[in-house]
Amino acid sequence: KHTVRLADAGPHWGWFAVAATSEGVCGATFGHANELEAGKVLEEILDPSLGGNGKSEQIAESAISELLRFFSGEGVGFSVPIALTGTAFQRAVWEETNLVEYGTLATYQEIAKRIGKPLAYRAVGNALGQNPLPVIVPCHRVIASDGSFGGYTRGLPWKERLLALEGSLGLVHAK
* Count of helices and strands (H, E) across the chain: 6, 5
Q: Is 26 a catalytic residue?
A: no
Q: Which of 4, 139, 143, 162 is catalytic?
A: 139
Query: Do residues 35 and 6 lie in contact, with contact meaning Cβ atoms separated by under 8 Å?
Result: yes
* Pairwise CA distance, residues 14 & 26, whole Å: 20
Q: For residue 20, give the 3-state DSSP assignment.
A: strand
Distance CA 84, CA 132 (A): 8
Determine how many CB atoms are found less than 10 A away from the CB of residue 74. Answer: 9
Q: How many CA atoms lie within 13 A of 147 on its CB side?
A: 8
Residue positions annotated with a catalytic role: 139
